[in-house]
Structure 1
Amino acid sequence: MAINVELLKKVCEAPGVPGYESKIRNMIIEEVTPLVDDISVDNMGNVIALKKGRSDEKRAMVAAHMDEIGFIVTHIDDKGFVRFTTLGGFDPKTLTAQRVVIHGKEDVIGVMGTKPVHVMTPEEKNKMPKIKDYYIDLGMNKEEVEKLIEVGNPITRERELIEMGNCVNCKSIDNRVSVFILIETLRNLKECPYDVYGVFTVQEEVGIRGANVAAHSINPDFGFGLDTTIAYDLPGASAHEKVTSLGEGTAIKIMDAMTICDYRMVDYMKKIAEENKIKWQPELLTAGGTDTAGIQRMGKSGAISGAVSIPTRHLHQVIEMANKDDIDGSINLLSNCLESLDKYDWSHK
């Protein structure tokens, strides 16, 4: 089944770095409100969409973070060049000569600059660049810049979504692809045994902050994280380094650096995938973490938690890439898992 690339493009291209998610949040609210029974925004800015089940005896929470990695203005120098710091993790070598958008009084396009290779010393040429080596060139003098920009303005990458083969390529596939998947899951859900809380969380990229608050409030019995994962299926990668591969199906998380998924949930998700002929692959990530950690631990009794992970190439770089079939499989897996929660023996064994 073909995915709605037009909606995915809209979601990916919207700006929303940690703490400054208002534009993507408003878009989500507009899209999701007709699909659910109730929608609210908490003090942190999480969007909580409730789809009622046959029983409110138990609760399931699904979290997809809406924030994207980005930057924030820290200084404007005497020549109008902008200094910044990161909001979330970046691979600095990918930033050279890339366009960005500073969201000030109006959106202003800039370009990431650093020392030209022609004037570097041999030692400098052999060093990996660091974030502090970069500035943003707006093509304006200080007076012009300060009419539009001030310290504290957020900055996002300037990249549109394109299709490449059977893949989509854009900024912020992490984690806007999961925002898209959760929207489409809420659209597709038929009758669920328990109340489903679809939560579009904030500030995941700086420490799973929104998910922690939402899980504490919702107190779910079951939890599903929804996020991208590394697809290191590239030249030079050894088989044991790949984590996942594009086009080999949605991934079922076993663990990452912050979460060991409940063995019952892992088993359940595998059974659901196999029963519904959904192509899947295991994900075991030795570094990094997702909202799954907050869902699992921040409720009063904890939650039986796992995660649907979307294989993604070039994570935390200027552009990222995911496979359309993997995206569709993720929607199918999540939807079927939510609709069958009462058909599994969840007792410890």
Structure 2
Amino acid sequence: MKVDVQLLKDICEAPGAPGFENPVRKLIIEQIKDHVDEYSIDNMGNLIAIKKGTKNPDGKKVMVAAHMDEIGFLVSHIDDKGFIRFQTLGGFDPKTLTAQRVIIHGKEDVIGVMGSKPIHVMKPEERNKPSKIDEYFIDCGMSKEELEKKIEIGDPITRERELIEMGECVNCKSIDNRVSVYILIEALKNIKSPAFDFYGVFTVQEEVGIRGANVSAHSINPDFGIALDTTIAYDLPGAQAHEQVTALGAGTAVKIMDAMTICDSRMVKFLKKTADSHQIKWQPEILAAGGTDTSGVQRMGKNGSIAGAISIPTRHLHQVIEMAHKDDIVGSIELLIAALEEIDTASWEY
């Protein structure tokens, strides 16, 4: 299996800030509609695709969640000179925003540039301090009157970065979590015989609090849950071995815990064993800070679920660009498909 770079590019570049996921949702529907038994969109905007199980007399359900929203911004003010102030949607590292292009999605798309106070006019004590989010503005090169014909307060804003290949890696904005959207699409297309009913859920608003996963898990009430999301690859100069979390190219990651979830030990064992039996390279993931849809999938159904996660090692998370290794992406697809086809063979007793 090889990564379909063009499809991944289309998915990563599609806009979809939290609460404004419709463009990427439409793209996903076009990709999956002929490969699933049914699909629907719930009141919150989660896209739920179902493939019926082939060995499922008890009607067991496996929910696989991949959030389709990306970190972004919201227009909160347009001043008299046409400069835009904004509200963040998700977490950002402010130092990465300086002089970066963004797209405001209004009546039409408008390109802007993130601006802050020029270093030439900073006081000496200011130069050594990183800019804060509320010190940034967006410059569109237009007057207020011209700008207001195209955008308004409340319009979403996303980063403007195309996907490129760098060696064996892909580099783009919103690898978090569009790489997982791609993985779930490929699983829905390529799986031959899921053992139990397979609910592939493309969730909304993860970046602002796991909101879509909470709602969809409550509705589906899955017996088993697998979340797909990126994780930190801190395999960079200056990193200590114990700080790495994961490393690019070292395989897909099996989550053990993050700040919001302790994965079910039975699911962790099952994913490790499945990877080994299929000779899929994997690495363990323990993430001290941050959380993913795993928490919603695990806890928000009526009965809770036996839950874990497949994580994709990613460098430069929550910055203007992010990067993942193609081999890790392929391994994640292969592990997900194998797990869904063999989940009936494991012992789930305590």
| Structure 2 equivalent of residue 72 of structure 1 | 74
> Gaps (5+ residues) in structure 1?
none
2:315 aligned residue (313, 316, 321): 313
Q: Which one-letter code corresponds to 1:84 in the other structure?
A: F
Q: How far is 1:30 from its partner?
A: 1.0
Report runs of 4+ in structure 1 exceeding 3 Å deviation: none
Residues 196-345 of structure 1: pairs in structure 2 closer than 5 A: 196-345=198-347
Tell me which of 175, 182, 187 is aligned to 2:184.
182
The 2-side partners of 1:139 and 1:265 are apart by 53
Distance in 1, Cα, partners of 2:120 & 2:253 = 45
1-side partners of 2:299 and 2:2: how far apart? Answer: 36
Distance 2:341 2:121 in 1: 61
SS of match in other structure, 1:347: coil
- In the alignment, the residues of structure 1 paired with residue 293 and residue 10 of structure 2 have an alpha-carbon distance, to the nearest angstrom, of 23
In percent, how many aligned pairs have the same letter? 72
TM-score calculated relative to the size of structure 2: 0.99
Cα displacement string for residues 79-111 of structure 1 (whole angstroms, at most 9, x for unaligned residues): 000000100000000000000000011000000
Q: What is residue 164 of structure 1 aligned with on the other side? A: 166
SS of structure 2 residue aligned to 1:229: strand
Deviations 1:7-66 (A, max 9, x none): 000000000000000100111111111110000000000000000012262000000000
Residue 193 of structure 1 and its aligned partner are, at CA, apart by 1.5
Taking the aligned partners of 2:2 and 2:25, their CA distance within structure 1 comes to 25
Match of 1:12 in 2: 12
Equivalent position SS for 2:34: helix
Q: 1:40 matched to which residue of 2? A: 40
| Aligned amino acid, residue 42 of structure 2 | D
Relative to the length of structure 1, the TM-score reads: 0.99
Which residue type is aligned with residue 20 of structure 2?
Y
The one-letter amino acid paired with 2:75 is: V
**Residue aligning to 1:137:** 139
Residue 113 (structure 2) pairs with residue 111 (structure 1): yes
Q: What is the CA–CA distance in structure 2 between the aligned matches of 1:58 and 1:148, rounded to whole Å?
A: 49
Task: Supply the AA of the counterpart residue of 2:86.
Answer: F
Alignment length (residue pairs): 348
> How far apart are 1:190 and its partner, in Å?
0.7
Shift in Å, 1:2: 1.5
